[in-house]
Structure 1
């Protein structure tokens, strides 16, 4: 997945907002909370997303995936797809959708209602 494809997918996933911050990273949010980040790798596009506890144990064993720099070191369950082979496009889309759902579930009932989710 290219960074343009990543941005297009995140834009269409639901009610989201996009900002560019942290050294030109594409940061996608729902209700003001981050669910996906595109950027931060030197040799290829890198994609960072929130995962479940189980996925956080399993995914770093796959080539091209690691606990997300900065976020995981602070106890957060985030994974970064940073090197080849990494995830295929369909798998990455599934993880981005799951990340969106995890973050949305953590929003207040009032905020979810405001967003129509």
Structure 2
């Protein structure tokens, strides 16, 4: 299953502790603790996934074909990854997991505990 299809996206993201989904901004948004982790929008060849990335990855990713600064998210190092990007499925899983970790790390310790989130150091 592809992460650029709703079934695959939901199946992967639902496996991350404390995540929830909401349809907003013309997309399917995954959140943790009320904060956006990732978003799927479009269908087929026009499908896109938005994810937060570390600053060091931002410049590298946005230099690749099919990846750009995410509209409305760019100030906080968010990227929009098109289904036509050069990233493999494994790399996409890595960046979505990293997005989750970055967002979850910003939650309070108490909320992380309530949601069952354990971050690696």
Partner of 1:103: 103
Per-residue deviation, 1:50: 0.3
In structure 2, what is the Cα distance between the partners aligned to 1:113 and 1:83? 34
Q: Does the CA contact (< 8 Å) of 1:38 and 1:45 recur in 2? A: yes
Unaligned runs of 5+ in 1: none
In structure 2, what is the Cα distance between the partners aligned to 1:46 and 1:21? 15
User: Given the superposition, is the C-alpha separation of residues 30 and 111 from structure 1 closer, same or farther in structure 2, using an over 3 Å criterion?
Assistant: same
TM-score by length of 1: 0.89
Residue 20 (structure 2) aligned to one of 11, 17, 22: 17
Unaligned runs of 5+ in 2: none
Q: Which range moved further: 61-70 or 83-92?
A: 83-92
Q: Deviations over 1:55-84 (max 9, x none)?
A: 111100111111111110xx1110111251
Partner of 2:47: 45
Q: Does the CA contact (< 8 Å) of 1:7 and 1:26 recur in 2? A: no
Partner of 1:69: 71
TM-score by length of 2: 0.86
Partner of 2:115: 115
Aligned residues: 114
